[in-house]
Copies of this chain bind each other. A is one copy, B any other.
Amino acid sequence: MALKHTILAFLSRQPLSGYDVAKEFAEGFGSCFWKASQQQVYAELTKLEQQGSVTYEAIPQPGRLDKKIYSITDQGQQELLDWLTQPCEPAAIREDLGVMGLAGHLVSSQVVIREIERRRQLHVEMVQHVKKLDEHFSQHLDSLDLKDLYMHLVIRRGIRYQEEWVAWCDEALQAIGQTVKR
């Protein structure tokens, strides 16, 4: 149930609207470690508000729906704290591309190669995207406080993850190329 805690963690830094939280997941810092859809975010915020973990202030906007600015409550902060002090497990891996390793022999090596090349390109783009998020932090590495260092490290995890994928794609393409030639 960590969507709850991820949202609480965002709100522990600053009050945000549902729209802003959803954007964090889609393109922002959140994209390094958590995926959530817009619908999930709105539903979860409604639930958290009903349970007293967050409150919102409705900001009227001319010619537009009210913006609901959510903040974390003391209760919510306590829940987040309780969760943070418990050990957590590594994420479950569910990687479609792995299925090709089991059943790749059913299709031509061209199909496998094309798919890996496609993946490589996706991850190259992700590296660039995530590196942009890190720019501010990596430029002042020596003067970061702990709060910002933690953010930098999570983004670093994102960068390394994506770079690792690119490296694996290269290793795989080379090995397949050699074996096909043989």
Contact = CB atoms under 8 A, between A and B. Distances in A.
A182 B155 CA distance: 22
Contact of A98 (B34, B101, B168): B34
Contacts of A92: 35, 94
Interface string A158-173: 0011001101100110
Interface string A49-87: 000000000000000000000000000010011011101
**Interface SS of chain A:** helix
Nearest to A147: B105
Contact of A94 (B84, B91, B144, B168): B91
A167 B161 CA distance: 11
B99 A5 contact: yes
A105 B150 contact: yes
Copies in the complex: 2
Contacts of A93: 32-35, 91, 161
Contacts of A109: 146
A100 interface: yes
Contact of A84 (B81, B88, B103, B155): B103
Interface residues of A, number: 73
B180 A98 contact: no
Contacts of A81: 106-107
Contact of A102 (B96, B115, B154, B164): B154
Interface of A: 2, 5-6, 8-10, 12-13, 29, 32-35, 77, 80-81, 83-85, 87-107, 109, 111-112, 115, 118-119, 122-123, 144-147, 149-157, 160-161, 164-165, 167-168, 171-172, 175-176, 179-180
